[in-house]
Amino acid sequence: MTFHQHRAVIRSLGCKVNQCDAEATASELRAAGCVILDDSDATSLDESPADLCIVYTCSVTAEGDRKSRQMIRHLIREHPNALMVVAGCYAEVRPDDLRTIDGVDMVVGTSDAAQLLPQIYAALDIMEPDGEKSCSEDSCRRTRAFVKIQDGCDQFCSYCQIPLTRGTPHSRDTGTILKEVRGFVEHGHLEVVLCGIRLGAFGMDRGDPNALAELLRQLDTIEGLVRYRLSSIEPNDFGEPLLKALPELKKLAPHFHIPLQSGSDTVLQRMNRRYTAQDYQSLIKRLQSLIPNLAVSTDVLVGFPGETEEEARETEVFVEKMLFSKVHLFPFSPRPGTVAADLKPRISAADVRCRKRRLEGVTLAGAIQFRKRFVGSTLQVLIEGKELVASETGKMFRTGFSENYLRVAIPTSCEQPLRAGEVYDTVIERLDRNMLLKTQTSEDVLSSSEERFEKVGTAQESTGAGLLIGNVPIASNR
Ligand code: SF4
């Protein structure tokens, strides 16, 4: 009898919930005896390609749709004999679009997610593993672990089809989440990221408005866990129980991603966002008073239907004064089935491009100003990714994220190696032109196609070199 070990490639696009779902599937498949190929394996294994490909698609924008189709076609070309399975939000809302792609074998939407693995097991004759598998033991390859605590949303923002694709909010059991986090810590993770479509709705479906605050308090007590962060949280979801808990929480990372979408009240109203720009600003002020060195990043939707030049300027002015650490700018794209898909007038592509360019300038200036505050400070950097070589001097660097989610580059050497997955107390010396906080006194520019630095055009920033006191490992997963 021959034993065939299945080889799977799993890709996810879009939000961290997709990433988490993909990792959970990888974990299940590994437990069932499959090999999960990582990026380098998947592209270099011409002689032994995958026999299973799964793509967790995103449909949040038309661009998400396009990238999903591109990824599917790419994998079909790379692994022509694989079972091609398409999951995620695009598979939920327009399965027929995807079924027409030549080479797609199975389309399983989010509402049928429980059927995904049984269908794969049946198609490939894989024996189902015993016992419950948690979200991504496989993510041991990573330094941060992602833990899904919630799915679904019922807010019906007028541009968003997520309530149509993922249903009403449903929360995972607190005990199961804590067990999963402890498992990650035992596997060496120092940081976990709590993911959900609407994190602030955690526990609401059980009628428990204190559930999120209580979960965070419990996480704070987990020995070996250095820090945890929230992937994204809506402004309306900072209820009193959560606000009251924040000052007590020692391990909660001081960074929140709080979607703004527009700085214009009239646009916010048409978006059905249920807050004003003033509400948003007051919330940030309150959070800053509760959490020192808090970084706030956000999303802004550019060119919402009917957005006048005056409304676009209101957003620019608002964003300028907020000093966000990072702003993700999304051009509006109509999503079928949403209220905004029928709103008129549509903003021309040229106007959207122009407004986006203006916002890029404003957000860059704010992000630089925010980062400057940390030159001379000590940040706790969790090292991630591979070593990088500075193009001019050949010196080695590693990069990682600070507790407030700023990317930092630190020199490494054989004598003083930095290891991925460890946290180092790091004195920041300067800010480079890529908004990278650095501890190196040279003017090196990192060169690596592996790292996706935030390229920020022609901005030139140098704060001058300070004293490198040293990188002191304060926590290790080894
Ligand atoms: S809060 Fe609004 S934008 Fe966010 S998932 Fe729900 S409907 Fe979509």
Which of 228, 253, 278 delimits the end of a domain? 253
Residue 38, pLDDT score: 73
Contact between residue 158 and residue 272 where contact means Cβ atoms under 8 Å apart = yes
Cα 322 to ligand 1 centre (Å): 22
Q: What spacing in Å lies between the alpha carbon of 161 and ligand 1's midpoint?
A: 8
Q: Which of 285, 221, 227 is nearest to 258 (CA)?
A: 285
Question: Of 356, 373, 390, at which residue does a domain stop?
Answer: 373
Q: Indicate the angle between helix axes 116-124 and 16-31, nearest 10 degrees.
A: 40
Q: Do 169 and 269 lie in a common domain?
A: no
150 with 246, same domain: the answer is: yes
Give CA–CA dist 409/138, Å, rounded: 26
CATH number of the structural domain spanning residue 310:
3.30.750.200
Q: Which of 15, 150, 157 to mutate to test the pocket of ligand 1 (most atoms within 8 A of CB)?
A: 157
Counting the structural domains of the chain, the total is: 4
| Structure confidence by residue, pLDDT tens digits, 56-68 | 999 888 889 999 9
Q: Write down the pLDDT at residue 24.
A: 86
Query: Tens digit of pLDDT for each residue in 74-124?
Result: 999 999 989 999 999 999 888 998 999 999 999 999 888 888 998 998 888
Q: Are residues 37 and 114 in the same domain?
A: yes
How many Å apart are CA 217 and CA 113, to the nearest integer? 31
Ligand 1 site residues, Cβ closer than 6 angstroms: 153, 155-157, 160, 162-163, 197-198, 234
Contact present, 335 and 161 (Cβ < 8 Å): yes
Judgement on whether residues 369 and 388 belong to the same structural domain of the protein: no
Q: What is the mean pLDDT of the chain?
A: 84
On whether both 53 and 104 belong to a single domain, the answer is yes
Mutate which of 59, 160, 273, 333 for ligand 1? The one with the most ligand atoms within 8 Å of its CB, which is 160
Inside any domain, residue 150? yes
Tokens of 396: 């080695």
Can you read off the two tokens belonging to residue 136? 């991504």
Tokens of 47: 């002689």
pTM: 0.81
Query: Has residue 134 been placed in a domain?
Result: no
Tokens of 220: 């704070």
CB atoms within 10 A of CB 62: 13
Confidence tier at 467 by pLDDT (50, 70, 90): very low
With H, G, I as helix, E, B as strand and everything else as coil, classify residue 356: helix
Q: Are residues 162 and 249 in the same domain?
A: yes
**Pairwise CA distance, residues 456 & 445, whole Å:** 14
How far apart are the CA of 233 and the centre of ligand 1, in A?
10
Mean pLDDT computed over 329-338: 93
Residue among 197, 230, 233, 304 whose CB has most ligand 1 atoms within 8 A, to mutate: 197
Same domain for 456 and 401, yes or no, is yes
Tens digits of residue pLDDT in 141-168 = 457 888 999 999 999 999 999 898 888 9
In the block, which residue shows the tokens 């990433």?
19
In a domain, 259, yes or no: no
Do 98 and 52 share a structural domain? yes
- From 208, 228, 253, give the residue that closes a domain: 253
- Average confidence (pLDDT) over 255-281: 98
Ligand 1 atom 2 nearest Cα: 157
Name the pLDDT band for 17 (thresholds 50, 70, 90).
confident
Please give the number of the atom of ligand 1 that sits closest to the Cα of 166: 5
Which residue range(s) make up the domain with 391?
Answer: 378-475
Distance 199 CA to ligand 1 centre (A): 11
Residue 66 belongs to a domain? yes
Residues 387 and 363 in one domain: no
Q: Count Cβ atoms below 10 Å from residue 1 Cβ, excluding itself.
A: 2
Whole-Å CA distances, 1 to 4, 52, 454: 10, 22, 52
Percent of the chain with pLDDT over 90: 60
- The better pLDDT of the pair 311, 393 is held by 311
Q: Is residue 136 part of a domain?
A: no
Please give the pLDDT value at position 278.
98
Closest atom of ligand 1 relative to the 197 alpha carbon: 5
Residue 1 lies in a domain: no
Residue 226 · residue 402 · CB < 8 Å: no
**What CATH number does residue 209 fall under?**
3.30.750.210
CATH number at residue 72: 3.40.50.12160
The residue that leads in pLDDT, 43 or 410, is 410
40-44, 75-79, 124-128, 391-395: least confidently modelled range: 40-44
Identify which of 159, 166, 198 to mutate to test ligand 1's pocket (most ligand atoms within 8 A of the CB).
198
> Which atom of ligand 1 is found nearest the CA of 153?
6
CB 242 within 8 A of CB 291: no
Is pLDDT larger for residue 367 or for residue 435?
Answer: 367
Of the pLDDT bands very low, low, confident and very high (cuts 50, 70, 90), residue 368 is very high
- On whether residue 168 sits in a domain, the answer given is yes
Is 258 inside a domain boundary? no
Do 356 and 423 have their domain in common? no
pLDDT at position 216 is: 98
46 pLDDT higher than 70: no
Pairing mode of beta strands 255-257, 378-390: unpaired
Which pLDDT belongs to residue 384?
Answer: 83
- 250-260: pLDDT as tens digits: 999 999 999 99
Q: What is the mean pLDDT of residues 450-465?
A: 27
Residue 56 sits in the same domain as residue 75 = yes
Give yes or no: residues 69 and 169 share one domain: no
pLDDT for the residue 360:
96
Q: How far is the CA of 101 from the centre of ligand 1 (A)?
A: 29
Average pLDDT over residues 282-304: 97
Please compute the mean of the pLDDT values over residues 240-266 and round it to a whole number.
Answer: 97
> Phi, psi at residue 364, to the nearest 5°?
-65, -45
Q: What is residue 342's predicted lDDT score, i.e. its pLDDT?
A: 96
**Residue 345, exposed/middle/buried by CB under 10 A (0-12, 13-18, 19+)?**
exposed
Query: In the predicted model, is pLDDT for residue 447 greater than 60?
Result: no
